[in-house]
Chains A and B, each alone.
Chain A
Amino acid sequence: DIQMTQSPSSLSASVGDRVAITCRASQSVSAYLNWYQQKPGKAPKLLISAISTLQSGVPSRFSGIGTGTDFTLTISSLQPEDFATYYCQQTYSMPRTFGQGTKVEIK
């Protein structure tokens, strides 16, 4: 299985801050890297697919970059509705695997 490791596991930030979450794969996942946002009590929501493709309706303050094994999700200016847990997922090989999650909390 491909292991996905996110860092940090949690972070505290203020509204307006720039936030970056990294995701490292144990082997190359090519461009098969997605990011999801999950709020408490809710199902995850797809934010970004294929490293950097923003899904319809997702604000442009979210962006993704990376290649091969190292990827980053950036929120350029944190908004109150962005406080949530974020997961990366690889769909390069079976079984599909997720990072352990990064919880973004209010400072």
Chain B
Amino acid sequence: QVQLQESGPGLVKPSETLSLTCTVSGGSITNYYLTWLRQPAGEGLEWIGRTYINGSPTYNPSLKSRVTISADTSVNRFSLQVTSVTAADTAMYYCASGDIKIDYWGQGTLVTVSS
């Protein structure tokens, strides 16, 4: 069974770049669509984007200009970067596998944007 684990700073300053990594175990990332989502406290789920090893990433237009998703097959990890963050980017961030259906989720990592 695939397992995913997010990691990265829990606190980011406004205008800086949020960087998270998702380590995948139990399967090769070359076999899956890799997705990032987020959820502000007490709110619903927002799809950030997804990538596939042999394809180009696809991003939510609401974030597209600020988001980069990349993957490193050598260490079976994929990453998320969000530039120029504001308080509105404060959320629980989830990495997940799948696209048409999201089968496996990481436990999530809380990122707070604050000075």
Contact = CB atoms under 8 A, between A and B. Distances in A.
Interface in A44-93: 44-46, 49-50, 87, 89, 91
Interface residues of B, number: 22
Given A94-B58, A95-B47, A32 B100 contact: yes
B98 to A, nearest CB: 8
Interface string A33-50: 010100000111110011
- Per DSSP, are chain A's interface residues mostly helix, strand or loop, or mixed? loop
A75 B108 CA distance: 27
A36 B58 CA distance: 22
Chain A interface residue bracket vs B: 20 to 34
Contact of B47 (A32, A43, A98, A101): A98
B108 A43 contact: yes
Contacts of A97: 47
Given A43-B106, A43-B108, A91 B44 contact: no
A22 to B, nearest CB: 16
A43 B107 contact: yes
Contacts of B94: 43-44
B62 A91 contact: no
A34 B45 contact: no
Contacts of A95: 47, 49, 58-62
Given A45-B105, A101-B44, A91 B60 contact: no
A74 to B, nearest CB: 19
Contact of B105 (A43, A49, A100, A101): A43
B99 interface: yes
B57 to A, nearest CB: 11
Given A44-B45, A87-B44, A91-B99, 4 more contacts: A44-B105, A91-B100, A95-B60, A96-B47
